[in-house]
Amino acid sequence: MLKFGGTSVEDAAAFERVTEIVRAERRAHPVVVVSALSGVTDALLASVEAANASGLAPHFERHREVAQRLLDRGAATGFQTELDEARSEIDRLLGRVSRDRAAAPQLRDEVVSYGERLSSSLLAQVLAARGLPASWVDARRCIVTNDTAVRAEPDLPETDRRTRAVLGPLVAAARIPVLGGFIGATAGGVTTTLGRGGSDYTAALVGAALDAEEIQIWTDVSGVLTADPRLVPHAHTIPTLSYSEASELAYFGAKVLHPKSIQPALVRGIPVRIVNSRAPQDAGTVVAAEAELWPGTVKSIAHKSGITVLQITSARMLGAYGFLRALFEVFDRHHMPVDVVTTSEVSLSLTVEDGAALPAVVEELEALGEVRVEPRRAIICVVGEGLRTTPGIAARVFETIRDINVSLISQGASRVNLTFVVEEGQARETVTRLHAALLEGAVVGQAERRKVPRGKRSRSARPAVSPSDRWTVEVTRRLIDIASVSGDEEAVAHFLAEHLEELDYNVEFLASAPGRPGLYATTGAAPRIVFCTHLDTVPPFFPSSEDDEFVYGRGACDAKGIIAAQLAAAGRLRAAGIEELGLLFVVDEEKGSIGARAANGHAGARECRWLIVGEPTENKLATGSKGSLRMALRAEGTGGHSAYPERGRSAIHTLLDVLDDVRAIRWPAAPEFGETTCNIGIIGGGAGANVIAPDARAELHIRLVTDAAPVRELLERAVAGRAKVEYLSATPPVRLTAVPGFDTCVVGFTTDVPHLANWGTPLLIGPGSIHDAHTAGERISKAELERGVDLYVRLARSLRAEPAAAEVRG
Ligand code: ADP
Ligand code: ASP
Ligand code: MG
């Protein structure tokens, strides 16, 4: 039994991958269940909502394109006729909806069913065109349900019987039946659907009816992961799950599996395998009766948002017979499933999904007692067979999130889960932290975990870095390992863009120079606080490594560790419901700041109130960064034979005298910035050791604590016309904003800050030391990195909470 989800049939390439997977399974007499092409069910539902088919055109086009590419001309024309018929039938149904809104619920299932009807017909034809003996079957002949709209319940014995009757002979004749998931029909022939994600359920029903050897769920991830990858990008595959574990995870939000798809498999003892159609070689996850007890005891963390908590308090509860029944009858009448229930002596709390029926339910409950409604909550569910037997897990869970408000704690009846409720805005943070604390020591790999007996493991019990710090370290290393010396920033920009999209940001590439994109990521809310640093590094590239204390590699502190810290901080802020954030990563900071200059013209700048620029300041908030004045001094001489120095004039001798006098200058100091400093970085000139030097040149870099003017005056006075002074660039010192509660410093280096003047008030802070930057041993301390994340979070919070509290000095 093979089931392909919508993401496995999104386009022609995906259909081709599916064909090869089916071909590989051919000997096992497979039956194929397929979802609608990804996005189609949503579009069909929206068309019913709007009573208008205009949004469907691109989806019809997608089907047409697959047919055109993969079917021969005759078959493609035939499929086009099917599409046209579907289109006019949908138009007719939507016309009825717009004339009679009350009819919408009944007609909705009929309209939505076209997603799976078309995808299954198309897949059957594609398989046939590639030489596989596929036969399309209308799923409504097999799946028999009641008439509940949107979420129909199957009649199990009847579904079993019909499925066997329809599919059995085909399988016996070595045909490969292909049917749409998700849809069914009542005994009277009215089309129904099994609820969102219901194709998994169809697969389980069909697999159970045919007593399949295995039910394979082909999707876009390599199995059930330790957490939702949209929240925890580095979540990893769980090799095996028990049926109970899988049910709990699916029930509490792990979308990869429909919650009802486990029961039919469990009843017949059929293993369910979750596999990746884009990486068919990956083993994926097997769900079966027996699952190992992992030493870690926790296997995965699920979450489900859009939850409302209802608390009903009534003195009648005390020993009153019939009270609970009356209470649950209210939910029954409204077809409202209750997820988690906890009771105390006089009150009962439970969770339901947000929905239109809620106000009516609350009103009826008020007849039974006092009702408190807490909307916008999320259920968090920690799952693992080991929870049955291992004491202390709950304590560890709650210790990890001790500063997060938790309510409604329940240990599921199956005892493989620990479930509780948090505010919706804190779901991401809760899952991320629990994952770090409970599941990230495991990155070593499950294979090792299974093979090495407990007592023999040599890894020290206490890692030098706590697991929660691992995320930032991992991201830092991945960023370091993508070389991005100034001029070569494209690969790292693309990697980051993808990563940010996975983390649910809107990402825009910023044009600055060809092949050198910067990045600007936003959340959808107006970005009031923008984290900013640079993508480029100085040469030469060297890859990452680490020991207990440090991460090494080019860019470790300047500025890839900082990028990772800013990502982590933004993630934590978002987890706490703070969305007015942006992330700006520019190119060329190490050279001429082309990226920052270009970004300064970006329209988003106007929305930004605070720009938090990251450079290695040892986690201190820079109240100032010195300016810079770069110049060249050129001396000229008259050449001649070195044996007769009196006959010429050596440019080198002149330059040395000039430089001597320059070194003797007493430069200005400024209380807030410290000293002006002058570095003679390069000297050169001359024609040969036995020639009086005709020319000589030096390059100087002065760090300014004042305007350039007084410095230039002092310099020119010292040079006194003996050498030509050529100014190469000048950047004034910058005063920066201080915020109470942060250690401060003044930095001697320059940054992109002066070039980003349109982006609100700048602040400058970041983990790592400038003394490690640009060196052959560039590194960043892991502890400092993690503290950097904390500080970024704290800084953003204080800027957001009390803009007036920030003492603006610049
Ligand atoms: P399909 O179209 O194949 O049915 P779904 O989108 O329904 O795919 O389910 C797969 C998605 O489920 C993944 O892409 C992932 O975003 C999400 N998901 C949520 N929690 C988990 C989890 N614990 N493990 C794997 N995937 C998860
Ligand atoms: N196409 C349906 C949905 O999007 C069913 C499924 O894909 O499982 O919900
Ligand atoms: Mg699905």
Question: pLDDT digits over 74-91, tens only?
Answer: 999 999 999 999 999 999
Return the pLDDT at 695: 94
Backbone angles phi, psi at 564, to 5 degrees: -60, -45
List CB-based neighbours of ion ligand 3 within 5 Å.
5, 197
Nearest to 639 by CA among 681, 675, 693: 693
> Does residue 238 register a pLDDT over 80?
yes
CA distance 569 to 573: 6
184 lines ligand 2 (CB under 6 A): no
Percent of the chain at pLDDT above 70?
A: 94
Return the pLDDT at 736: 92
> Does residue 463 register a pLDDT over 90?
no
CA distance 755 to 592: 10
Q: Which of 196, 256, 260, 261 to mutate to test the pocket of ligand 2 (most atoms within 8 A of CB)?
A: 196
8 lines ligand 2 (CB under 6 A): no
Return the pLDDT at 319: 64
The pLDDT confidence band at residue 443, using thresholds 50, 70 and 90, is: very low
Q: What number is the average pLDDT over the span 117-137? A: 97
Nearest to 703 by CA among 673, 736, 744: 673
**All residues at 6 or more sequence positions from 167 whose CB lies less than 8 Å from its CB, including other chains:** 31, 137, 142, 177, 206, 209, 210
Return the pLDDT at 800: 86
> Does residue 452 register a pLDDT over 60?
no
Distance 221 CA to ligand 1 centre (A): 7
Distance 585 CA to ligand 3 centre (A): 35
Q: For 693-746, how does the pLDDT look when each residue is reduced to its tens digit (9 = 90+)?
A: 999 999 999 999 999 999 999 999 999 999 999 998 888 899 898 898 899 999
Which of ligand 2's atoms lies nearest the C-alpha of 194? 5
Q: Are 225 and 235 in contact (CB under 8 A)?
A: yes
37 lines ligand 1 (CB under 6 A): no
Q: Where are the alpha helices (DSSP H) in 401-480?
A: 427-439, 446-451, 470-480
Distance 31 CA to ligand 2 centre (A): 18
- 577 vs 169, which has greater pLDDT? 169
- 503 vs 198, which has greater pLDDT? 198
686 lines ligand 2 (CB under 6 A): no
Q: What number is the average pLDDT over the span 371-375? A: 94
Neighbour count for residue 52 (Cβ, 10 Å): 15
Which of ligand 1's atoms lies nearest the C-alpha of 258? 7
The pLDDT confidence band at residue 292, using thresholds 50, 70 and 90, is: low
**All residues at 6 or more sequence positions from 763 whose CB lies less than 8 Å from its CB, including other chains:** 610, 611, 612, 613, 621, 622, 736, 737, 739, 795, 799
Return the pLDDT at 680: 95
Q: For 536-586, how does the pLDDT look when each residue is reduced to its tens digit (9 = 90+)?
A: 999 899 999 998 899 999 999 999 999 999 999 999 999 888 999 999 999
199 lines ligand 2 (CB under 6 A): yes
Return the pLDDT at 291: 67
202 lines ligand 1 (CB under 6 A): no
The dihedral of CA 434, 437, 442, 443: what is its sign? positive
Name which residue sits closest to atom 5 of ligand 2, judged by CA: 197
The pLDDT confidence band at residue 320, using thresholds 50, 70 and 90, is: low
Return the pLDDT at 293: 60
**All residues at 6 or more sequence positions from 396 whose CB lies less than 8 Å from its CB, including other chains:** 437, 438
219 lines ligand 1 (CB under 6 A): yes
Name which residue sits closest to atom 6 of ligand 2, judged by CA: 197
290-304, 352-366, 387-401, range with the lowest pLDDT: 290-304
Task: State how beta strands 695-704 and 724-731 pair.
Answer: unpaired
> Does residue 614 register a pLDDT over 70?
yes
Q: Are 512 and 534 in contact (CB under 8 A)?
A: no
230 lines ligand 1 (CB under 6 A): yes
113 lines ligand 2 (CB under 6 A): no
Percent of the chain at pLDDT above 90?
A: 77
114 lines ligand 2 (CB under 6 A): no
Neighbour count for residue 159 (Cβ, 10 Å): 21
Return the pLDDT at 802: 57
Distance 2 CA to ligand 3 centre (A): 13
> Does residue 441 register a pLDDT over 80?
no
285 lines ligand 1 (CB under 6 A): no
617 lines ligand 1 (CB under 6 A): no
Return the pLDDT at 355: 82
Which of ligand 1's atoms lies nearest the C-alpha of 199? 4
Q: What is the DSSP string of 253-313?
A: T-TTS-GGGHHHHHHHT--EEEEETTSTTS--EEEES-----TT---EEEEEEEEEEEEEE
DSSP code for 795 = H
Return the pLDDT at 459: 27
Return the pLDDT at 730: 86
> Does residue 110 register a pLDDT over 90?
yes
